[in-house]
């Protein structure tokens, strides 16, 4: 959530940033929000003045009664009653304005970092680097949705029978590949200094608002209405919310957490070739890394996280590229995002497997996640996260890029986790 002080003091910068994210009617909405803030501050001032006057008169009443000036004291009592009633009315008005203001602030996305390129769609994203050689496949190479049938390792029909489309059943070597990747990613995270946590996969509304999934992504999450809980879209949500309403000691920073969870996304409105097979699912596994840092360190940490994720892709021997997302393709909450994409030779296209983002103070402001400076002043921290990694498209790329006429070769780094070196 954007800070009101930023909106008041850097209005032009805010409007320019919102325009860069292609937010509609940015100038008008910011102006309306500032007007609402002015009303709130005016009501607050009037309320405080009335309350101060009532408190002052109450003291006078005691003195007058002590001095025997009962008639004057009674007149002051009547005035105090009137003042308190007016103050109560203003307090109710103030509460209503604060709720309205909070809801208006929730609707504004984060501002993009100055390095974010202009653009409206994924076509405008900037390619930062590309690594690895794209493999050449044999003549009868197949896409992964055909390979999984051939080797009987993932069953979409069975998942559809049990639950519905987008909920596959992994079995045999497919299930072992899932487990191997999860363990590999977690071990790598631990070796890089991340503390493993296993959070709940259901969250309450406060957690959804804390990291920005609510109200922006409400329709994309599965909602358990009886208990008003939401299935998580990513481990970022519960892990970051561990630190909601916390003042973190500076000597504990940066905080580095990693966690594996299943993730759930309704993906409403998704269809076509881009979502075939493992390309887009309603339930999938992912290992997430989260960092909480001092503001002046966060962009250095973002580069470090990007390099770490690239290191995983290199160990898996997958060709990949890194994109800096343009303003129009960024998430609601992000200030700067790098996407990592692996190349699927059988599909002939790039598949996104990770997003690594710096949210600056946007989530921290919602979470009330802070630290104290040397002077004792309380300041907001910066939050960051990244997929390290999401499994479905990694599995798709491993199957497609490593297929041979005699089976599918597994990356060497996974052999100790798998107990086999080829799916056959």
Domain with residues 122-423, CATH architecture: 2-Layer Sandwich (3.30)
DSSP 374: T
Is 90 exceeded by the pLDDT of residue 134? Answer: yes
Q: Tokens 């100790």 appear where?
A: 416
User: Between these two residues, 218 and 155, which has the higher pLDDT value?
Assistant: 155
The reported pTM is: 0.92
Question: Which H, E and C letters describe 264-322, residue by residue?
Answer: ECCCCCCCCHHHCHHHCCCEEEEEEEEEEECHHHHHHHHHHHHHHHHHHHHHCCCCEEE
CATH of 4-106 among 1.10.287.40, 1.20.1260.10, 3.40.1370.10, 1.10.260.40: 1.10.287.40
Longest dimension (CA), the chain: 107
Average pLDDT, rounded, for the chain: 94
List where CATH 1.10.287.40 sits in the chain.
4-106
Is 90 exceeded by the pLDDT of residue 71? Answer: no
List where CATH 3.30.930.10 sits in the chain.
122-423
pLDDT digit string, tens, across residues 299-319: 999 999 999 999 999 999 999
79 pLDDT band, cuts 50/70/90, is: confident
* pLDDT given for residue 154 in this prediction: 98
Q: Which two tokens stand for residue 14?
A: 């805010």
- The residue-averaged pLDDT of 153-160 equals 97
Is 80 exceeded by the pLDDT of residue 76? Answer: no
64 pLDDT band, cuts 50/70/90, is: low
Question: DSSP assignment of 141-190, as one string?
Answer: ---HHHHHHHHT-EEHHHHHHHT-TT--EE-THHHHHHHHHHHHHHHHHH
66 pLDDT band, cuts 50/70/90, is: low
In this prediction, what percent of the chain has a pLDDT beyond 70? 95
Q: Tokens 């069953």 appear where?
A: 155
Question: Alpha-carbon torsion 361, 367, 368, 371, what sign?
Answer: negative
* pLDDT given for residue 269 in this prediction: 53
CA distance 203 to 232: 7
């Amino acid at each position: 959530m954007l800070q009101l002080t930023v909106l008041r003091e850097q209005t032009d910068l805010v409007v320019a940033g919102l325009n860069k994210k292609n937010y509609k009617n940015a100038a008008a909405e910011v102006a309306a929000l500032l007007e609402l803030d002015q009303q709130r501050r005016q009501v607050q001032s009037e309320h405080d003045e009335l309350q101060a006057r009532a408190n002052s008169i109450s003291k006078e009443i005691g003195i007058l009664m002590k001095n025997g000036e009962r008639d004057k004291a009674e007149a002051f009592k009547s005035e105090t009653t009137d003042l308190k009633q007016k103050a109560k009315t203003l307090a109710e008005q103030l509460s209503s304005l604060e709720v309205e203001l909070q809801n208006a602030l929730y609707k504004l996305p984060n501002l993009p970092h100055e390095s974010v390129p202009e653009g409206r769609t994924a076509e405008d994203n900037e390619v930062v680097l590309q690594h690895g050689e794209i493999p050449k496949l044999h003549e009868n190479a197949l896409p992964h949705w055909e390979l999984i049938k051939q080797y009987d390792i993932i069953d979409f029909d069975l998942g559809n029978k049990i639950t519905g489309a987008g909920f596959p059943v992994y079995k045999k070597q497919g299930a072992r590949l899932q487990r191997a990747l999860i363990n590999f990613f977690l071990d790598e995270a631990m070796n890089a200094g991340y503390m493993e946590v296993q959070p709940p996969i259901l969250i309450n509304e406060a957690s959804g608002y804390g990291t920005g999934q609510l109200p922006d992504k409400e329709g994309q999450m599965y909602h358990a209405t009886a208990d008003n809980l939401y299935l998580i879209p990513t481990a970022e949500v519960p892990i970051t919310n561990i630190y909601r309403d916390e003042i973190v000691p500076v000597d504990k920073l940066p905080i580095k957490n990693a966690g594996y969870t299943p993730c759930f996304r309704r993906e409403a409105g998704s269809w076509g070739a881009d979502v075939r097979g493992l390309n887009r699912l309603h339930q999938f596994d992912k290992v997430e890394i989260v960092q909480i840092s001092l503001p002046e360190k966060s962009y250095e940490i973002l580069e470090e996280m990007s390099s770490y994720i690239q290191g995983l892709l290199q160990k898996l021997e997958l060709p990949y590229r890194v994109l800096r997302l343009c303003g129009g393709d960024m998430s609601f909450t992000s200030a700067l995002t790098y996407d990592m994409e692996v190349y699927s030779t059988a599909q002939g296209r790039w598949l996104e497997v990770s997003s690594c983002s710096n949210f600056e103070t946007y989530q921290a402001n919602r979470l009330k996640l802070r630290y104290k400076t040397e002077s004792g002043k309380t300041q907001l921290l910066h939050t960051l996260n990244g997929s390290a990694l999401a499994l479905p498209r990694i599995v798709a790329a491993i199957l497609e890029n490593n297929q041979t006429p005699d089976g599918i070769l597994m990356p060497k780094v996974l052999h100790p986790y798998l107990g086999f070196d080829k799916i056959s």
